[in-house]
Amino acid sequence: MSTSRSKFAIRSLLVFLAAWTGLFAQLTAGSVHTGSFTVTGVVRSYPANSSSAGVKLEFVGKNIKKYVVSNAKGAYRIQLPLGAYTMNVSTAGVDLYQRPILRVLSPRTIVVDVTTYPPDPDCDTIVSSVTLPDGTTKTQGLTVDDYKDSCGGSDELKQPSDGTPFSLYVRYSSRRRADDEVIYSSDRRRGPVFAAYNLLSLEADSVVYDSKTRTITATGNVAMADGSGKTQHFDSIGFRIEDGHAIILK
């Protein structure tokens, strides 16, 4: 091979390597979308169902904390690295909404619409005594659970250790505990029962959680969203929590 041909071959090889190196750098360093996902939605307030501007939505994951503020139409949009996050919504330092772990492991856009509710009332003005299951009245030594049974609140129900970092969050107006079941109810004061499990969320008049079978049954004006942006409506629906997924019962 002549010297000129050898130089041409070497030059062509160097050009190819340079081009490939540049392309590889773009694929690995410059393409953030391969390792991220987008959360978008609208923040509204109960009971007027009006959009809420200037609300802070904070996402907290492992070694990362990012937030976004809803715009004049109540809409928000944020991009996050793939992983698991808790979501907190607040305004003027007051917590309005919570959501347990959202776990997204592939690039996609998920829709999480948010409904905020008025601050909880002073429970002492509602509860003066608690009726026990045997019909007697408990007037002293009221516990936090006693108050939440009558006045409402929120529960974050951790699942047994099975390797899945998920939890079930329920917000309610009142509740009744019986053996393995917890029955959550709604009223006009606090709005519908709200339940969230990973990407699935729902609102309903009543929600029953069975810790033994790990099933959830929602009845009455059920509105269920799965993160795709589509909301489905049911008279009633049930699903089972299994390996980090909510499997609808037929």
User: Comparing 141 with 237, which gets the higher pLDDT?
Assistant: 237
The model's confidence at residue 65, banded by pLDDT at 50, 70 and 90, is very high
Distance CA 239, CA 78 (A): 30
Q: Is residue 200 part of a domain?
A: yes
Beta bridge partners of 207: 184, 218
Say yes or no to pLDDT of 120 above 70.
Answer: no
Residue range 165-172: mean pLDDT, rounded: 82
Lowest mean pLDDT among 110-114, 137-141, 153-157, 162-166: 162-166
Q: Is residue 105 part of a domain?
A: yes
Same domain? For 87 and 177 the reply is no
Same domain? For 160 and 77 the reply is no
Q: Is residue 13 part of a domain?
A: no
Same domain? For 111 and 156 the reply is no
Same domain? For 44 and 98 the reply is yes
CB 186 within 8 A of CB 206: yes
Whichever domain contains 62, its CATH number is: 2.60.40.1120
Q: Give the H or E element holding residue 239.
A: strand 231-242
Q: Which of 93, 117, 141 is the last residue of a domain?
A: 117
Instruction: Determine the structural domain holding residue 199 and report its residue range.
Output: 152-250
Beta bridge partners of 201: 196, 225
Q: Is residue 24 part of a domain?
A: no
CB 79 within 8 A of CB 146: no
Specify the pTM.
0.74
Phi-psi region of 205 (alpha: psi -120 to 50; beta: other; left: phi over 0): alpha
pLDDT above 90: percentage of residues in the chain:
40
CB 48 within 8 A of CB 66: no
Q: Is residue 41 part of a domain?
A: yes
Alpha-carbon distances of 115 from 50, 118, 194, rounded to whole Å: 9, 10, 10
Lowest mean pLDDT among 7-11, 97-101, 107-111: 7-11
**What is the phi/psi pair of residue 49, to 5°?**
60, 30
Same domain? For 250 and 160 the reply is yes
Number of domains composing the chain: 2
